[in-house]
Structure 1
């Protein structure tokens, strides 16, 4: 009886070891999470969950330093994992053409990017209202940060994050956790001359 129990336990461990090793082969992250992320210094635990499994990571930073520690109000952060696009972050200063009579810029922003149809507000969940309107989808998040004043006449700064690797998985919670702190730090680095937060 005892011999049979030991045999059963050994067989179960062997099956688990085989299946766990095979299941985990393509699901490990073998690279270090970059810190900071494109000149934006936020807690890596907020954006670590957005990074897919893989062996290597390459970050292309188009967040221009304009002097005095300030960043341009327009920029991109592109993350490739194993040579494939994984994360795309865009920062864009809104202009008066994106203003539709109310303090709402995201739909116009999506339309200008060509994302309306792919990302509609009907499929999204609003997680914050004015002055920092934020919407999340399973693989995309966008926030509109209103400017109370701007020496260059920016009514808002829009930050968006798109995950190009998740397929049908829902990463809306992880995107929600990340986009607020990232956008706040981005706005701080842009500086109050370009956009004093509302």
Structure 2
């Protein structure tokens, strides 16, 4: 009887040993599948976060700084990549070449700009139109003669000096506000803005 019991115990232990690898092998695919699913979910979340960050880079409402940065890129593209497609001629008025600008130049220009920024069609047109207006004005001054060129140069110098003066004045007022100057506190913010813009009574 003792021999039979020993044999039974040995067979049962061997069966347990033989069954344990199968159970471990059966559990390994499930763990691998769970790890794969977690990795895929993490990759999806990372891709989603990257796409959301790309969307954050797009400029929906243009402030002055963003407008100037995009305007610079617009002019670079029109003067290099799209120079062979269409050139805005400064000797012609905007209305004369408006149709060609909108049909030939604007579609490829907008496509290139929108790869990096989301800019409205009207904003791009405004950038091009303002630059053309300035170039067209200077062209008309040059063809009038040297006296008109000198007069325009003096006008530009005066305007630049006034613009720099306003910037210095605004910086000074901002620093006085931050330091809590007692004289600046006498004036409401609206009145200060009018003074800085030369539309109100001076200090």
Q: TM-score, normalised by structure 1?
A: 0.27
**Which structure carries more relative contact order (alpha carbon 8 Å, separation 6+)?**
1
Structure 1 or 2, whichever has the larger Rg, is 2
Instruction: Looking at secondary structure, tell me which structure has more helix per residue.
Output: 2
Q: TM-score, normalised by structure 2?
A: 0.27
